[in-house]
Structure 1
């Protein structure tokens, strides 16, 4: 049995910044903090679309947890069971070995996973866009589609290969589509003279009547116009009825079913099931309700943050805070303060949050941004979004690498190498003779 003062579950924005804050609060003291995360890095998710398009080196969108948290014990693995009342947990590491953990205080931030509706064919033919592996795979897949399209003279097959469908008009879906559309358009101009932009079909399907929820409606409309100007089809107030056989059928009967070689699902996330399986109360969306201090009701010294927590919005909207990186980061810091207070260090504080603004990139030199009541569009908004992401990125070395990538992308085209074999070693041949 390993004893810790604080157990942090999850290495995303909430968990990583909670542990980092605890390092500061416990500096020079003897408290021990354990963070359990499925990867040995913290993914800076706002940069995921640029990592997918090749604008940014994928490694520069992550921060190694052991470097980010030098005084925290990091266990790469998964918490498989949690006895909140008994202050016990079990985790399994990469070797499959089980670890028994005892703790005094708990911060739950296990994040979320894609959730799909019962759409025929979706699970078989669609991919998600949540992890770094998703981004790398999708980039390689898009480039592979270009190669396959270039190799065929069958126009119907070419149209299928170059048909890209994104389901979900939130921030990640819009940014990923816009970045990858720019990648393919640039690649065609430089490396695929046989192919034309008119051979491609980019489709974005959104069930709501506008894109980018939470943004000023004027910015949503601007984004819609900008995407349509690129030739991207937008189907708002529309749902996907079927993806069987790789053919997309929409609820809008005026749109004929079509074969799509790429289907990306970004329409929904559901909190990790750990809280529910541990017997904690959850709402209808699987989130743990917490009070303004981020405390779980009825359980001492237990806090929940991030995608898996229903945190009361300090703005008084009556709804929980949206599951954004901004909110998770701030919640992590406040949860750490309150955990430390529960252990006798400092005072507890409620979660207060002032929105620093939102920015969405729509491909190279195009974007929308909102700071309080001010709205910005075009290249200025694109630059503001990059500047804000750079400010959020921890560490001078990581910031420098990101700036270097961005600078190179301003003067040189994206690399179109298909690195589909990454992570898979070439098998050795059988013995000769």
Structure 2
């Protein structure tokens, strides 16, 4: 059982999740809390926050992977950071069950709870998906994917089997949202650059990139004309785009699509949507039909004012759209997470000191996506921006949103060095199986 709090002890604030919302909420609290006013504990399975919009550039070698993560303990010096995974929330008992890094189970008590567990990849019941698919949500997956793709180029350059070579050089992305399009564009740029400069026996025409999207358009966050423009730009680069097409099977790397198309591949990148963290289902808090916490516009869980939430796991009313659609909620994107987190810390402080929280209101300023080096699309401030200006806009916006000046400066220097000396495309495939060589030697 979680230990009861003594009246003389500071208010216990427990933050579940160390992503953007969790990090910035805890950071805001540690700056505003008075001495002995409250204690803040942050729980996350990873000791760092990952800025997801930079994952495609990290995977493609434009940014050093370590620079897109923020160490929690370095930034949250006045908070207690616990590396553990949340398994159960019992708000009636003011208790959260966690599994610590060493495997032991622990119950944590609290007075104020912040649920910022984010989202996880949405897995569909497609044969072979779990065995063959590679998600694109974490820095580990981004690093793995980069090394995986570069390893496939190395294998293709050395094989004498034409069918195997074709399979190795076929790369598939499933999902046409921001994550899928940006990952596809950056990684296609990387493979083309690598082949043109370092693989003389592979032609760029040998490489096959395929995008599969079940809906009739891509990038639903921008106006349809920009989605059409993006498809046109991808197809000009030789990328095959299948719209209104579902994946039926991935068994043994054999892709079967709903329109009858079939091909073999060793690389299936799965970005077909996200869902709220399934841990929420193992709680006594109210959920909407999509498994997100039902929240007020002030980011308090409905019926439980001591529980706060924001980000991808929260159904927060979108006050900028509720007049036209009373059920409208904020979409799960970085733009809202950034702004919700800042206000969330201020609201908790206000309530802690007897005040009233402020409702979250943010009119969507638009969206921007990178389509690889020097290419992008933006739908912002009622303007349609394409090409190089949109790409600059994308970099400027996300550099500003990246937490801490330390990381911003490091990323800026990555870009400068990349412009001067070209991107790094070396394969570090051994990092995916570091013990293989040791095991091989031990048997000789």
TM-score bracket for the superposition, by shorter chain length: over 0.9
Residue 406 (structure 1) aligns with: 415
Q: How far, CA to CA, are the matches of 2:365 and 2:23 in structure 1?
A: 20
> Distance in 1 between the 2:224 and 2:54 partners?
24
Q: Distance in 2 between matches of 1:257 and 1:303?
A: 47
**2:307 pairs with 1:315:** no
Q: Contact 1:128/1:266 (CA < 8 Å) preserved in 2?
A: yes
Identify if the C-alpha distance between structure 1 residues 101 and 249 changes in structure 2 by more than 3 Å, giving closer, same or farther.
same
3-state DSSP of counterpart to 1:89: strand
SS in 2 for 1:301: strand
Using the TM superposition, name which of 201-210 and 116-125 deviates more. 116-125
Whether 1:199 and 2:219 are equivalent positions in the alignment is: no
Deviations 1:332-355 (A, max 9, x none): 222222222332265410011133
Match of 1:22 among 5, 26, 29: 29
Q: What is the CA RMSD across the aligned residues, in angstroms?
A: 1.8
| Residue number in structure 2 paired with 1:324 | 333
Contact 2:338 2:401 in 1 (8 A): no
* Matching residue within 33, 53, 65 for 1:58: 65
Structure 1: gaps spanning 5 or more residues: none
In structure 2, the CA distance between the partners of 1:234 and 1:246, relative to structure 1 (3 Å rule), is same
Instruction: Tell me the alpha carbon deviations over residues 135-164 of structure 1, each in whole angstroms, 9 at most, x when there is no partner.
Output: 000000000100110011222211111101
1:266 has 2:271 as partner: yes
Contact 1:301 1:342 in 2 (8 A): no
> Distance between the aligned counterparts of 1:291 and 1:395, measured in 2?
29
1:388 aligns with 2:414: no
What is the rounded CA distance, in whole Å, between the counterparts of 1:334 and 1:204 in structure 2?
A: 38
The answer as to whether partners of 1:25 and 1:345 remain within 8 angstroms in 2 is no
Q: Does 1:31 align with 2:12?
A: no
**2:381 paired residue among 355, 369, 372:** 372
Which of 326, 334, 341 is residue 343 of structure 2 equivalent to?
Answer: 334
Query: Residue 145 of structure 1 aligns with which residue?
Result: 152
* Inter-partner Cα distance in structure 2 for 1:431 and 1:375: 61
Equivalent of 2:254, from 239, 247, 250?
247
1:18–1:333 contact (8 Å) kept in structure 2: yes
> Does residue 48 of the first structure (1) align with residue 59 of the second (2)?
no
SS in 1 for 2:379: strand
Matches of residues 78-117 of structure 1 in structure 2 within 5 Å? Answer: 78-117=85-124
Q: C-alpha distance in 2, partners of 1:379/1:329?
A: 25
After superposition, residues 165-180 of structure 1 pair within 5 angstroms as: 165-180=172-187
- Relative to structure 1, the CA distance from residue 34 to residue 251 in structure 2 (aligned partners, 3 Å threshold; closer, same or farther) is same
Q: Residue 243 of structure 2 aligns with which residue?
A: 236
1:295: which partner in 2?
300
* Displacement after TM superposition at 1:81 (Å): 2.2
Report the count of equivalent residues: 430
Q: CA deviation at 1:65?
A: 0.7
TM-score by length of 1: 0.95
Instruction: Show structure 2 runs of 5+ residues with no match.
Output: 6-10
Tell whether 2:285 aligns with 1:276.
no
Moved more, 323-332 or 126-135: 323-332
Question: How far apart are the structure 2 equivalents of 1:69 and 1:357?
Answer: 31
**Cα distance in 2 between the residues matched to 1:430 and 1:379:** 53
Equivalents in 2 of 1:178, 1:8: separation in Å? 35
Residues 82-124 of structure 1 show CA distances to partners (whole Å, capped at 9, x for unaligned) of: 2112211222221223333211111101111112211122121
> For 2:270 and 2:199, how far apart are their aligned partners in 1?
28
Instruction: State whether structure 2 residue 10 is matched by structure 1 residue 8.
Output: no
- CA distance in 1 between counterparts of 2:206 and 2:354 reads 62
Q: How far did 1:187 drift?
A: 0.5
Structure 1 residue 288, shift from structure 2 partner: 1.2
- Distance in 2 separating the partners of 1:340 and 1:355: 26
Contact 1:209 1:237 in 2 (8 A): yes
Matches of 1:308 and 1:185 in 2, distance apart? 37
Task: Name the CA shift for 1:370/1:104 in 2 (closer, same or farther; >3 Å).
Answer: same
| 1:349 partnered with 2:358 | yes
Q: Distance in 2 between matches of 1:402 and 1:412?
A: 15
Q: Output the CA distance in 2 between the equivalents of 1:203 and 1:129.
A: 16
Query: Residue 162 of structure 2 is aligned with which of 155, 180, 183?
Result: 155
When normalised by structure 2's length, the TM-score is 0.93
The equivalent residue for 1:71 is: 78
Q: 1:361 and 1:235 mapped to 2: Cα distance?
A: 20
Q: Structure 1 residue 181 and structure 2 residue 188: aligned?
A: yes
